[in-house]
């Protein structure tokens, strides 16, 4: 696991090594164990290493002894042993046990087809000095980030994090209002764009080949949509097998591996299978939030007792001065508080001496774990029959609705929306307040760019069952643009490698080959996962209702009310120009009065956008760049 950075120009690059060092230094948290630099007349590459496999022999950059090709690499290749054996049979000779050396040999052997042979999470760059060719690639699911920008003089600058790009002379800090428009609609921006106008991402499952002034993108993987003919029992057995093998692959390390354990079925399944595969007790960790309205410690302890893990619990503890870190490392404004427990968990696990941890990320998106999926199934079932019993079903999904009249009013509104509409319930409460929230000039700015959003949503087959349409949408949108982005940024902020067995692309392909009704039975979310874990986990775990890992937004605003008020003062709101000062003031007064209208989620968005503005758009303030 590393952070990488570099730049390329077909005829010349700056000769000052200080630029490359500054870029590498800005992402030192991703790899505190070693810094490696390479620079010639056309290309410069930097690596910050977090040593996990082949501790003495895995430093980067790696240079091929025959071709002179140079590799920098962020991630883990889980099938490196199989690749090594195959490449050795083809005549390749290895000097180390590192997956980096094997990856460079794989590129030498298979060129642009190399990424499709890899099992793992990765973002890597290969520079071929003989041909003056630069190759960049990113893993299928988008677990590892890779950003780039192209300057007017055709210099291409790339890095694992945007803050490294901003260290390169001439890279602009221009805010991207289209990204903000998406954030307010969906709760996240969409790749390849970022919150900076001229900075982009290499797309998941894609590569970018740069020769001269030409850049060619290639898609090497797409999520399959075919259906396998398996019985429900066979499907559950297959899921357990794929998850077991995914966990097994992610135990490859020359350092100890821990596991997050919230007490929910996702982390419990990963922890339980890890414990079954391990010859020694597994170290597990969970977080609690005082006064957050729920407590999962009992369930985490049940799983720990079942598998004899060495379990530790710790209470959320974060000061106001650390809130900037949540934005600094994520490099986008926030719309969810899921990053808070992820940041604190990784900080705690690192303090315990661990560099690697397993998690249950991604299970909700591919196996139907959100209320959004329940609502879609419910809407398909209800149709136009508005009976009292069916109103009660709606209120199971919308607990805040106090009457059948409210339930049907909400239902009729949502029924007219497509699967991808942001107003669908789990999506984002800011959407309904968008016109009231935005300052007139900023609203006009967003509206003037609305044409750029045409065709931005991924196509989903309308003939597929509604649940499969939604799951495909989640895998293509929410996973790479929110869930996995948060997981990487918050773990690497504390120099921790987070491994997500549910995101093994082979498991994902398997899950999407199964019939939709296997994944959710009635309104029973993640039915197939629960069925697959019978006999593995205590019944209390796979039978219980899902609880969120993120703390409630009301808890956050109450906990940091002073900071929220300071950052969203009327003067600051007017100066920055994003929001209407009178509406911000109204929301704060309603919150303080404990109004039944919950504005806390909207306040969080405004609060973190202002922090983002301070940190990234106004040099010299906050942490700076």
CA-nearest of 166, 163, 160 to 50 is 160
Percentage helix, strand, coil, to 5, in the chain? 45, 15, 40
Residue 359 marked as a ligand binder: yes
Q: Which residue has the tokens 């199989």?
A: 82
Choose among 399, 304, 313, 368: nearest CA to 531: 368
Which residues have C-beta within 8 Å of that of residue 119, sequence separation ≥ 6? 77, 78, 79, 249, 504, 505, 506
Check the annotation: does 287 bind a ligand.
Answer: yes
Nearest to 1 by CA among 576, 540, 487, 407: 487
Strands (E), 261-373: 283-288, 310-315, 356-358
Distance CA 37, CA 23 (A): 11
Looking at residue 361, the DSSP 8-state letter turns out to be T
Identify whether the C-beta of residue 553 lies closer than 8 Å to the C-beta of residue 337: yes
Instruction: Describe the strand order of the beta sheet including 356-358 as a list of residue ranges.
Output: 310-315, 283-288, 257-260, 356-358, 497-499
| Tokens 């307040």, residue located | 433
Q: For residue 377, what are the CA distances in angstroms to 191, 469, 481?
A: 28, 11, 25
Identify whether 192 is preceded by a cis peptide bond (ω within 30 of 0): yes
Spatial contact of 420 and 457, defined as CB atoms under 8 Å apart: yes
Residue pair 337/556 in contact by the 8 Å Cβ criterion:
yes
The residues annotated as belonging to the active site are 2
Does 279 appear as a known binding residue? Answer: no
DSSP state of 615: I
> What tokens appear for 395 in the block?
């209120």
Rounded distance, CA 220 to CA 206, Å?
Answer: 6
By the 10 Å C-beta count (0-12 exposed, 13-18 middle, 19+ buried), 333 is classed as buried
Q: Which residues are annotated as a binding site?
A: 99, 287, 359-360
Q: Which residues are annotated as a binding site for L-glutamine?
A: 99
Q: Which residues are annotated as a binding site for ATP?
A: 287, 359-360
């Amino acid at each position: 696991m590393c952070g990488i950075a570099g730049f390329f120009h077909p005829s010349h690059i700056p000769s000052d090594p200080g630029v490359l060092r500054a870029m590498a230094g800005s992402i030192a948290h991703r790899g505190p164990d070693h810094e490696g630099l390479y620079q010639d007349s056309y290309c410069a590459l930097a690596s910050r290493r977090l040593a996990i496999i082949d501790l003495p022999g895995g430093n980067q950059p790696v240079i091929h002894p025959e071709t002179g090709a140079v590799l920098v690499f962020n991630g883990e290749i889980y099938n490196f042993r199989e690749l090594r054996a195959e490449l050795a049979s083809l005549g390749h000779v290895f000097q180390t046990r590192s997956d980096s050396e094997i990856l460079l040999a794989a590129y030498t052997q298979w060129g642009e087809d190399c990424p499709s042979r890899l099992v793992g999470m990765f973002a890597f760059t290969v520079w071929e000095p003989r041909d003056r060719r630069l190759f960049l690639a990113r893993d299928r699911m988008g677990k590892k980030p890779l950003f780039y920008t192209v300057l007017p003089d055709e210099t291409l600058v790339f890095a694992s994090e945007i803050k490294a790009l901003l260290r390169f002379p001439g890279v602009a800090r221009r805010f991207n209002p289209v990204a903000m428009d998406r954030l307010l609609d969906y709760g996240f921006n969409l790749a390849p764009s970022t919150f900076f106008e001229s900075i982009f991402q290499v797309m998941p499952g894609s590569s970018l080949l740069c020769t001269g002034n030409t850049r060619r993108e290639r898609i090497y993987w797409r999520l399959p949509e075919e259906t396998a003919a398996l019985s429900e029992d066979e499907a559950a057995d297959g899921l357990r097998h794929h998850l077991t093998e995914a966990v097994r692959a992610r135990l490859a390390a020359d350092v100890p591996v821990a596991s997050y354990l919230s007490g929910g079925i996702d982390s419990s399944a990963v922890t339980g299978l890890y414990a079954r595969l391990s010859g020694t007790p597994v170290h597990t960790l969970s977080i609690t939030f005082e006064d957050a309205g729920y407590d999962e410690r009992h369930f985490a302890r049940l799983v720990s007792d079942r598998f004899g893990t060495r379990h530790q619990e710790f209470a959320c503890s974060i000061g106001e001065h650390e809130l900037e870190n949540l934005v600094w490392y994520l490099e986008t404004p926030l719309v969810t508080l899921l990053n808070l427990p992820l940041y604190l968990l990784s900080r705690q696990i690192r303090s315990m001496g661990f560099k690697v941890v397993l998690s249950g990320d991604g299970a909700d998106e591919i196996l139907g774990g959100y209320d959004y999926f329940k609502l879609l199934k419910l809407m398909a079932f209800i149709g136009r029959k508005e009976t009292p019993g069916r109103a009660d079903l709606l209120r199971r999904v919308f607990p805040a609705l106090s009457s059948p009249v409210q339930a049907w009013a909400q239902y009729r509104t949502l029924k007219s929306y497509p699967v991808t509409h942001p107003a669908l319930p789990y999506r984002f409460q800011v959407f309904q307040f968008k016109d009231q929230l935005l300052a007139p000039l900023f609203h006009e700015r967003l509206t003037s760019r609305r044409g750029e959003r045409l065709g931005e949503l991924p196509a989903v087959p309308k003939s597929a069952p509604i649940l499969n349409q939604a799951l495909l949408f989640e895998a293509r949108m929410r996973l790479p643009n929110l869930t996995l982005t948060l997981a990487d940024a918050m773990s690497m902020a504390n120099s921790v490698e987070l491994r997500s067995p549910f995101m093994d692309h082979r498991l994902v392909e398997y899950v999407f080959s199964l019939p939709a009704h296997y994944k959710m039975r009635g309104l029973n979310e993640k039915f197939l996962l629960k069925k697959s874990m019978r006999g593995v986990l205590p019944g209390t775990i796979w039978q219980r209702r899902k609880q969120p890992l993120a703390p409630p937004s009301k808890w956050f605003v109450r906990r940091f009310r002073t900071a929220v008020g300071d950052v969203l003062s009327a003067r600051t709101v007017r100066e920055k120009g994003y929001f209407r000062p009178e509406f911000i003031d109204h929301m704060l007064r309603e919150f303080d009065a404990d109004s039944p209208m919950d504005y806390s989620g909207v306040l969080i968005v405004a609060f973190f956008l202002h922090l983002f503005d301070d940190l990234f758009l106004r040099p010299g303030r906050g942490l700076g760049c």
